[in-house]
Amino acid sequence: MKHFSSIGAAVAGTGFIGPVHVEALKRIGVHITGVLGRTPEASESAAQRLGLPRGYHSYEAMLADPEVDAVHLALPNTLHYEFSRKALLAGKHVMCEKPLALSALRAHELVELAREARLHGGVCYNIRFYPLNLDARERLKSMGRIFSVTGRYVQDWLLYDTDYNWRVLVKEGGPLRAVADIGTHWMDLIVSVTGLEVESVFADLHTVHKVRHRPVGEVKTFAGPSEVEREAILVETDDTGCILFRFKGGAQGMLFVSQVTAGRKNMLQYEISTAQGALAWNSEHPNELWLGHRDKPSEVLLRDPALMNDLARSYSSYPGGHNEGFPDAFKGCFTAFYRAIASGDPTGQELYPTFAQGAHEIVLCDAILESQQRERWVTV
Ligand SMILES: NC(=O)c1ccc[n+]([C@@H]2O[C@H](COP(=O)([O-])OP(=O)(O)OC[C@H]3O[C@@H](n4cnc5c(N)ncnc54)[C@H](O)[C@@H]3O)[C@@H](O)[C@H]2O)c1
């Protein structure tokens, strides 16, 4: 297997999540060739800030760099399809932020393109890689039939009608927002942890703020709310949503998503009930896995490589009591991705979230949107 340092990766996007990719790549020892921002100046200043050798002046220059084997796309959603397609055509592996594309058709086109080129295509559903989620995945294999999966993914950063981000606009983020932005993380996690397949969905989505007041032009850092000039915009994307799932084999599911729940900064939670017990995990306490029993006291497993199964242990870097969290989940996700690249061509058995799985999330979103519009169950 090739050493990670012999694989070159470049990162496009220097906003919130691009630097998270850079940090994780540094930690696992992949050779980072450079970074791309919106302008040549933004690229150069990000390269300097992040301690990287190059700020690319264009995406074409990034793809033309022979040192680049893989690109990471940490860009607004509208760019994912085109940037992924160009990268695959240039012979680069791709780790794309979610969603893979804005339509299932385009996402499937990328799945085919990657397959034909025998390139690895990953979508960054990083939450799978909290070690206790990997532990739960293995543990469930011997817990018998799954009865139900319930949970939520809730945040508060769009609570006020003065909160604004490109994600609220259909043309920038796509027609679903809370569901697509955070609900897909929950759905990917549940499908990967349980191995269940969604058969049908029923959705009830809601836009709490049908009008938001977005800042006009550049907002000065630390400007007070009264100093910011604003314009009213109509919002059609979902602030909250309740989704019911029927899984193949008869299990039931229920998800609540929200970006307007005060005090919940970024909480993903699930509880899975099976014939032989239950388990639950919460991203606010990611080093604890609750194990529910009927005939003896329930337990809490504190993340500890010595107490976890082999899969979870191989994605956990610190001893018990030394907490692992959000940045470590990216480290795990990229470790799986580069282990697969270093091992050779894609096999279809990858542990990282693949393009095919990313495309499936878009199919689920389409079914959820259709259910909302038609007010009925929709078969996936
Ligand atoms: N996996 C996760 O946990 C997670 C978390 C947050 C965001 N995301 C995803 O990451 C993506 C980016 O989100 P973000 O929050 O970092 O957004 P952001 O707005 O903070 O950053 C986007 C970056 O893209 C750059 N950009 C825009 N157009 C560009 C272009 N044409 N060429 C080069 N750079 C360009 C912007 O300058 C900015 O640096 C989204 O798709 C989002 O869904 C994933």
Whether 118 and 154 map to the same domain: the answer is no
Whether 89 and 220 map to the same domain: the answer is no
> Which of the 8 DSSP states describes residue 6?
G
Q: What angle do CA 320, 322, 286 make, to 5 degrees?
A: 85
Whether 69 and 156 map to the same domain: the answer is no
- Split at pLDDT 50, 70, 90, the class of 173 is confident
Over residues 250-260, the mean pLDDT reads 98
Whether 63 and 188 map to the same domain: the answer is no
Q: How far is the CA of 276 from the centre of ligand 1 (A)?
A: 42
Q: Is 362 part of any domain?
A: no
* CATH of residue 47: 3.40.50.720
Name the closest-CA residue to atom 4, ligand 1.
17
Over residues 298-309, the mean pLDDT reads 97
What is residue 197's predicted lDDT score, i.e. its pLDDT? 97
Q: How far is the CA of 5 from the centre of ligand 1 (A)?
A: 25
pLDDT: which is higher, 220 or 48: 48
- Which domain-ending residue is among 324, 340, 360? 324
Q: Is 186 part of any domain?
A: yes
Whether 164 and 104 map to the same domain: the answer is no
Q: How far is the CA of 42 from the centre of ligand 1 (A)?
A: 14
What is residue 104's predicted lDDT score, i.e. its pLDDT? 96
Q: Is 330 part of any domain?
A: no
Residue 352 CA to residue 84 CA, distance in Å, equals: 17
* CATH of residue 288: 3.30.360.10
Whether 256 and 315 map to the same domain: the answer is yes
CA distances from 147 to 85, 196, 253, 295 (A): 40, 11, 9, 18
Q: How far is the CA of 112 from the centre of ligand 1 (A)?
A: 25
Q: Is 334 part of any domain?
A: no
Tell which one of 11, 17, 98 to mutate to probe ligand 1, the residue whose CB is within 8 A of the most ligand atoms. Answer: 17
Whether 147 and 120 map to the same domain: the answer is no
Whether 184 and 85 map to the same domain: the answer is no
Which atom of ligand 1 is closest in space to residue 126's alpha carbon?
A: 1
Per-residue pLDDT for 315 more than 70?
yes
What is residue 221's predicted lDDT score, i.e. its pLDDT? 57
Q: How far is the CA of 149 from the centre of ligand 1 (A)?
A: 30
Whether 58 and 202 map to the same domain: the answer is no
Please tell me the total count of domains within the chain: 2
- Which domain-ending residue is among 87, 104, 126? 126
Across the chain, mean pLDDT equals 96
Over residues 83-94, the mean pLDDT reads 98
Q: Give the pLDDT confidence of 340-376 residue by residue, as tens digits.
A: 999 999 999 999 999 999 999 999 999 999 999 999 9
Tell which one of 97, 100, 330 to mutate to probe ligand 1, the residue whose CB is within 8 A of the most ligand atoms. Answer: 97
Per-residue pLDDT for 219 more than 80?
no
Q: Is 252 part of any domain?
A: yes
Over residues 219-245, the mean pLDDT reads 85
Torsion angle, CA of 189/190/194/196, rounded to 10 degrees? Answer: -120
Ligand 1 pocket, residues with Cβ under 6 angstroms:
12-18, 36-38, 74-77, 79, 97-98, 124, 126, 181
Q: Give the pLDDT confidence of 279-293 residue by residue, as tens digits.
A: 999 999 999 999 999
Tell which one of 11, 14, 16 to mutate to probe ligand 1, the residue whose CB is within 8 A of the most ligand atoms. Answer: 16
- Which domain-ending residue is among 306, 324, 342? 324
What is residue 172's predicted lDDT score, i.e. its pLDDT? 87
Q: Is 329 part of any domain?
A: no
Write out the residue range of the structural domain in which residue 120 sits. Answer: 4-126
Whether 75 and 184 map to the same domain: the answer is no
What is the pTM assigned to this prediction?
0.95
Over residues 234-246, the mean pLDDT reads 97
What is residue 218's predicted lDDT score, i.e. its pLDDT? 65
Q: Is 341 part of any domain?
A: no
Name the closest-CA residue to atom 7, ligand 1.
17
Residue 163 CA to residue 297 CA, distance in Å, equals: 44
User: Look-up: residue for tokens 């689920």?
Assistant: 364
What is residue 225's predicted lDDT score, i.e. its pLDDT? 67
Whether 271 and 161 map to the same domain: the answer is yes
Q: Is 332 part of any domain?
A: no
Over residues 87-95, the mean pLDDT reads 98
Whether 173 and 319 map to the same domain: the answer is yes
